[in-house]
A and B are shown apart, each in its own frame.
Chain A
Amino acid sequence: KNEVEQSPQNLTAQEGEFITINCSYSVGISALHWLQQHPGGGIVSLFMLSSGKKKHGRLIATINIQEKHSSLHITASHPRDSAVYICAALHSNSGYALNFGKGTSLLVTP
């Protein structure tokens, strides 16, 4: 089983701050998802990446396959970014199901 670890577990930031959430995993993967879960529970897929870097608006995700590490960055954070951010690893020997980290709870204050 691929262990997926996230840090920090909880994060409070002031509006405008640059935020980094880290994710590490224990075995090789096919791809890694970054997900956002709002208090109502719904999950939105932010990124799926298997190498390099992806950017969407103020969000940037990077992955280093050799180091088995990924980061999610939020630039110019805003209170509406407050949510739980989850990384999830996809590897072929799991039937392509995702193995989830425990999530990082982010609170951005005005």
Chain B
Amino acid sequence: GAVVSQHPSRVICKSGTSVKIECRSLDFQATTMFWYRQFPKQSLMLMATSNEGSKATYEQGVEKDKFLINHASLTLSTLTVTSAHPEDSSFYICSARDYDGSPYNEQFFGPGTRLTVL
């Protein structure tokens, strides 16, 4: 299947700093990328849907000013956690959908980024 990478895989930061997470589709063009968050022993929760060249659509309860999403190209989306706090510590996963005109194409997942805020 197609490959999606995330960088970094693990990050530890101090409270109040900002962290940027990159999600790249390596061998296909992704018009849509999704950002998920997963707390321990919990399922994935959708944070936002990112479409190339337009503003991201955030799920209810997700602060758009805190979780900045940029989808500048068909192969790259970034999630920036601004002014991170310990409660933002979580596992962040992106997925990307290949584009061939069909909205039902399979999603491919990145390996995830584990964020720890001290």
User: Cβ of A35: which chain B residues have Cβ within 8 Å of it?
Assistant: 109
Q: From residue A36, how far is it (CB to closest CB) to chain B in Å?
A: 10
User: Cβ of B93: which chain A residues have Cβ within 8 Å of it?
Assistant: 41, 43
Interface residues of B in 63-118 (CB under 8 A from A): 91, 93, 95, 97, 103-104, 106-109, 111-112, 114
Q: From residue B43, how far is it (CB to closest CB) to chain A in Å?
A: 5
Q: How far is the CA of A99 from the CA of B49 in the complex (A)?
A: 13
Check A100–B43 contact: CB distance below 8 A. yes
Cβ of A42 within 8 Å of any chain B Cβ, yes or no, is: yes
Cβ of A95 within 8 Å of any chain B Cβ, yes or no, is: yes
Q: How far is the CA of A40 from the CA of B104 in the complex (A)?
A: 28
Cβ of A92 within 8 Å of any chain B Cβ, yes or no, is: yes
User: Cβ of B109: which chain A residues have Cβ within 8 Å of it?
Assistant: 35, 42-45
Say which size band chain B's interface belongs to.
20 to 34
Check B111–A42 contact: CB distance below 8 A. yes
Cβ of B18 within 8 Å of any chain A Cβ, yes or no, is: no
Q: How far is the CA of A30 from the CA of B57 in the complex (A)?
A: 21
- Nearest residue (CB) in B for A105 is B41
Q: From residue B91, how far is it (CB to closest CB) to chain A in Å?
A: 5
Check A45–B106 contact: CB distance below 8 A. yes
Check B43–A102 contact: CB distance below 8 A. yes
User: Cβ of B1: which chain A residues have Cβ within 8 Å of it?
Assistant: 45
Check B104–A96 contact: CB distance below 8 A. yes
Q: How far is the CA of A81 from the CA of B57 in the complex (A)?
A: 35
Q: How far is the CA of A90 from the CA of B102 in the complex (A)?
A: 13
Q: From residue A54, how far is it (CB to closest CB) to chain B in Å?
A: 12
Cβ of A107 within 8 Å of any chain B Cβ, yes or no, is: no
Cβ of A97 within 8 Å of any chain B Cβ, yes or no, is: yes
Q: From residue B33, how far is it (CB to closest CB) to chain A in Å?
A: 11
Interface residues of B in 15-39 (CB under 8 A from A): 32, 34, 38
A–B Cβ pairs within 8 angstroms, 18 of them: A30-B104, A33-B107, A40-B111, A41-B112, A42-B112, A43-B44, A43-B112, A50-B104, A86-B43, A88-B44, A96-B49, A96-B103, A98-B46, A98-B95, A98-B107, A100-B44, A101-B43, A103-B43
